[in-house]
Amino acid sequence: MDKQEKNALKFALAAVALWSTVATGFKLGLALLEPVQLLFLGTLVSTIIFVVAVSISGTWQVNRRTVGESLLFGLINPFLYYLVLFEAYDRLPAQIAQPLNYTWAIALAVLAVPLLKQPLTRHTTVGILLSYFGVLILLTQGRIDSWPVINWLGVILALSSTLLWASYWLLNTRSHTDPLTLMALSFLFATPLIGIVCVLGPGLPPLSWEIAGYGLWVGLIEMGVTFLLWQRALRLTTNAGRIGQLIFLAPFLSLILIGVVLGERIHYTSVIGLGVIVAGIVVTGRPSRPAV
């Protein structure tokens, strides 16, 4: 392995390690903040990161088309996607919310049929059915006689977040704007909107070092720096497929942290269900990044 490939591997592993922490960070932050308050802090941090990154790279593309795209994309991500996702995490154990959100890659395969006119092939169909069978395993917790007690609104929100995320990436395939510029402008437009929702709802988040830390955690690791690390890895490697497979480590590492840090007793069906979901994603052949 040459030096460039080694560097690509280092960047990718760093991104995977960081992404595996965010489910734990979400639950810890949501213990102190309302979902929209945590979202406001996270997007504020990410906006600064993306604006600085675009300014350094000199790739600003500001015109009527990019502004229009950014308004649309910012409404979907970060505003709607993360608000729905945080509301799901607020209602569900992390070991349930995290694997459910990971099915966004399957939602992508489903939505690509009507939106991109892609054919539904046999292996794609098998992958979709396999992943949603994994969801069934996850939600039943191994019981076939009755459904366990679970917050079904949280389940609906978690699955809805996958549709939002998949829609976001499908729309991205039609954009010709520089990706970094698009992220910076999207977050610039979305952050004030989220701030307004905060003010009209629970109020702006209270200031403390602990709360600021969770805002940095979400903004730096989930929304900001980790995307840049992953992007760098994909640019350096000559084998994106091999690097892309590393992301499947993230949800399993995340379960370990959920058990150790949050103290959740990890049910064996959480591991099995996640494994089946990941197997379905592999069968469909859809690329993905960790959905936390």
In angstroms, the first-to-last Cα distance of the chain is: 30
What pLDDT score was predicted for residue 237? 81
What pLDDT score was predicted for residue 292? 56
Has this prediction a pTM greater than 0.85?
A: yes
What pLDDT score was predicted for residue 155? 95
243, 234 in Cβ contact below 8 A?
yes
pLDDT digits (tens, 9 = 90+) for 195-229: 999 999 999 999 899 999 999 999 999 888 888 88
Task: Give the number of residues written for the chain.
Answer: 292
Cα separation, 220 vs 222, in Å, equals 6
CA distances from 5 to 20, 138, 235 (A): 22, 36, 10
What pLDDT score was predicted for residue 146? 65
- ∠ Cα 44 48 49 (to 5°): 115
| 70: Cα within 13 Å, side-chain hemisphere | 24
Low-confidence residues of the chain, pLDDT below 70? Answer: 1, 142-147, 241, 286-292
What pLDDT score was predicted for residue 141? 76
- 3-state SS track over the chain: CCHHHHHHHHHHHHHHHHHCCHHHHHHHHHCCCCHHHHHHHHHHHHHHHHHHHHHHHCCCCCCHHHHHHHHHHHHHHHHHHHHHHHHHHHHCCHHHHHHHHCCHHHHHHHHHHHHCCCCCCHHHHHHHHHHHHHHHHHHHCCCCCCCCCCCHHHHHHHHHHHHHHHHHHHHHCCCCCCHHHHHHHHHHHHHHHHHHHHHHCCCCCCCCHHHHHHHHHHHHHHHHHHHHHHHHHHHHCCCHHHHHHHHHHHHHHHHHHHHHHHCCCCCHHHHHHHHHHHHHHHHHCCCCCCCC
- Residue 132 sits at φ, ψ, to 5 deg, of -75, -20
What pLDDT score was predicted for residue 144? 64
